Amino acid sequence: MGTAHILLATLLISFFGVRGNVFSLERAFPSRHPIRLDELRARDLSRHAHVFKTVVGGLINVTVVYEDYYGHPQHIGVYVTKVKIGSSPREFYVLLDTGSDLFWVSCSSCSNCPRFTDLGTRFSFYDIVNSSTGGVLPCSHAMCGKCSRQSHRCEYDMTYSGGDRITSFLVSDVLHLDTIPVRSYVALESSAPIVFGCTTSVSGLLAGTRASVNGIFGFSQGPMSVLSQLSSQGMTPSVFSHCLKGDDYGGGILILGDILEPSIVYTPLVPKRPYYAIYLQSIAVNGKILPIDPAAFKVSRGRGTVVDSGTILAYLIEELYEPFIRAITLASSKHVTPVVSTSGNQCYRTSISKSEAFPSVSLNFAGGVSMVLKPREYLIDGGYYKGLPSWCMGFLKAHKRLNILGDLLLRDKIVVYDIVGQQLGWANFNSDNSPRV
């Protein structure tokens, strides 16, 4: 755990009342690799095709890495964590994902898994032979949903859009956690048995040279998620939170446990969903509620609003997106000129700062609570266009009937996922404000 991450954990412990367990964050990609907005959208859509296909006392610290996309000073992107598994333990880079439940890492028998991180560091591969605490999950295990007749192993396959596929078999081993007691900043190591996927084949984005991860850290409400498994053993409560830093250095922490702070506001979760769905009720621009048919906010099995840490951008269904973009355009400064990028995304040219040029946005949810977004929290640097700086909307049109709030909107906030209380909460938090602590 680096000095900066200890400082952030210290600030959170002091600023908020923390009761539970924590994981820290660092960056995965350096800023020399350009990825365009349309590529970010393609990555999100590929992910959504799989994840949402069914819906047309101590601090545990794990270093989490922030994917840094060049060309976007806000450093939007997904977050990954370094975890240690097995005896003797090996370290893996895994994507922090609130939209899926399976925890998986690259298996030693995987021939097409990425071999190196973006910085050239060699990835570890899990080999059950090298771990005295590891074992193949028997077909009789409660978590075994599909048993291979040939290998007699529990299999777990995931198929993405475009034919991208991940093939795994389930194993059990110990997950090592760096525990920081609330009244001490000296890390202590603990461990817990956990079931995860040993992946033998990957394709698509996770197989590419820019994957920078060789696994997924699933934190949905499903029974196989990391949180579900740890809480069933009494290792953590069924509550977790994250604080994703939005500055040039990325980073942040993931907390397993309660945060006791009056400024956190809560909205109820939609029941009986494996992911984190909430009730969006209206949208306001510069304090003015948009005239949108209430039916557009209807929640059903195929509709609603999801908070998803594995998604980079934000997505609104057409009935919300169109009036939202019109309102942003009308409420922007006279120094702003709307333009459309080559990939069809809404962008704007301006000669003044974005904080002066663009309006505030309020997403209003059940329970009478709102998530207020400043321009820097919903705009992406679009580079120069005809000699002037341009900004592109971080909100895109959803390709299905689901609104999705990704990392772009979650930065510089404590976001609380309270599974026991079936609610989701948030509070603004700027880890640079050390004088306030």
Digit-by-digit pLDDT tens for the chain (437 residues) are 454 444 455 455 555 555 555 665 544 443 444 445 555 555 555 454 444 443 323 333 333 333 332 223 233 346 777 889 999 899 998 888 887 788 999 999 998 888 887 667 788 999 999 999 999 999 989 888 889 888 889 998 876 544 567 789 999 999 987 655 555 444 556 788 999 999 998 877 666 545 567 888 888 898 899 999 999 988 888 999 888 876 655 677 888 777 777 889 999 999 988 889 999 999 999 999 999 999 999 998 879 999 988 788 899 999 999 999 999 999 999 999 999 876 778 999 998 998 899 999 999 999 999 999 999 999 988 888 888 889 999 999 987 789 999 888 988 888 999 999 999 999 998 654 432 22
Q: Which two tokens stand for residue 295?
A: 């039916």
Between the CA of residue 200 and those of 46, 109, 316, 346, what are the distances in Å? 20, 6, 35, 40
Q: CA torsion 418→419→421→426, rounded to 10°?
A: 20
Cα–Cα distance for residue pair 350/338, rounded to 1 Å: 9
**What is the SS3 assignment for 49?**
helix
Both tokens of 82, joined, read: 């370094």
CA dihedral 289, 426, 325, 73 (to 10 degrees): 150
CA 424 – CA 334 distance, rounded (Å): 38
How far apart are the C-alpha atoms of 40 and 35, rounded to whole Å? 7
Q: What is the pTM of this model?
A: 0.83
Note the pLDDT of residue 67. 34
Instruction: Find the length of the chain.
Output: 437
Residue 154 confidence (pLDDT): 92
Return the bridge partners of 346, or none.
340
Q: Which residues are paired to 196 by β-bridges?
A: 171
DSSP letters for 202-227: E-GGGGSTT---SEEEE-SSSTTSHH
Return d(Cα 409, Cα 246) in angstroms, integer: 10
pLDDT of residue 242: 85
Check if the beta carbon of residue 217 is closer than 8 Å to that of residue 228.
no
| C-alpha to C-alpha distance for 132 and 173, rounded to whole angstroms | 9
Q: For 116-171, give the secondary structure using H, E and C.
A: ECCCCCECCCECHHHCCCCEECCCCCCCCCCECCCCCCEEEEEECHHHCEEEEEEE
**pLDDT score of 196:** 95
Element (H, E) at 99: none
pLDDT of residue 62: 36
Q: Give every CB contact of residue 372 below 8 A, 6+ residues apart in sequence.
A: 360, 361, 362
Note the pLDDT tens digit of each residue in 95-149: 888 877 889 999 999 988 888 876 677 889 999 999 999 999 999 898 888 898 8
Contact 168, 155 (CB under 8 A): yes
Q: Which domains are seen in the chain, by residue range?
A: 3-260 (2.40.70.10), 265-436 (2.40.70.10)
Separation of alpha carbons 380 and 377, rounded Å = 8
The answer to whether residues 137 and 145 touch, using CB atoms and an 8 Å cutoff, is: no
**In this predicted structure, what is the pLDDT of residue 206?**
67
pLDDT tens-place string over residues 14-39: 555 555 556 655 444 434 444 455 55
Phi, psi of 409 (to 5 degrees): -90, -15
pLDDT of residue 111: 82
